[in-house]
Amino acid sequence: MSDPNPLANGADTHAVQAQVAVQKIYVKDSSFEAPGAPHIFQEQAQPQVQLNLNQTVNNLVEGVYEVVLAVTVTCKMADKNAYLAEVKQAGVFSISGLDQANLHGVLGTFCPNTLFPYARQAISDLVLAGGFPPFLLQPINFDQLYMEQLRRRADSAGATANA
């Protein structure tokens, strides 16, 4: 019968295990503008909301990364800017034991998935404090966005190689 613990059978005890840890989550920057206030509050038009996401990754030291998820929400009513809310939600993540492809995957999916609920709450608080009805961003599938980004890169690389 085999032992369920491979280390007990003399297996390599130096095998590197993947580790991901959140060290810190914080708001790096936030802003709110309501350029048409107070007149915009009288508008009866249907609001049109535009969402823009951006992510940057900074390597602080080996195995430690700052990931910044920028979320910008622009709301227009009758072609007038009602408000602009922007949050740069950041986190410091320790990541070790991953090859380059898996490291990029963690930075592109796990990290923004971790930061998004904080950014969503910050945006909601800004909009509400600005005198507008509550606004809640819908969940975002960062895994799907990451896969789409990889597909676009592969398509672009293929088009460049065929040119």
pLDDT of 61-109, one tens digit each?
999 999 999 999 999 998 899 999 999 999 999 999 999 999 999 999 9
Residue 134: the pLDDT is: 85
Residue 22's closest CA among 69, 65, 55?
65
Residue 1 in domain = no
Residue 28 domain boundaries: 16-137
> Is the pTM higher than 0.85?
no
**Pairing state between β 80-96 and 48-61:** unpaired
- Residue 110 in any domain: the answer is yes
Instruction: Tell me, yes or no, whether 154 lies in a domain.
Output: no
Residue 156 has a pLDDT of 82
Residues 6 or more apart whose CB falls under 8 angstroms from that of 142 comprise: 108, 109, 112, 113, 116
Integer distance in angstroms from the first to the last C-alpha of the chain?
59
9: in domain: no
Q: What percent of the chain has pLDDT over 70?
A: 88
- 160 in a structural domain: no
Residue 157 lies in a domain: no
Q: Is 142 helix (H, G, I), strand (E, B) or coil?
A: helix
**4-13, 32-41, 54-63: which has the minimum mean pLDDT?**
4-13
Does a structural domain hold residue 112?
yes
Which CATH number do you get for residue 116? 3.10.420.10
**More confident call, 161 vs 82:** 82
What's the token pair of residue 148? Answer: 């789409």
- SS3 for 107? helix
SS3 51: strand
Would you state the pLDDT for residue 81? 93
The rounded distance, in Å, linking the Cα atoms of 81 and 40 is: 8
The total domain count for the chain is 1
Query: Is 25 domain-assigned?
Result: yes
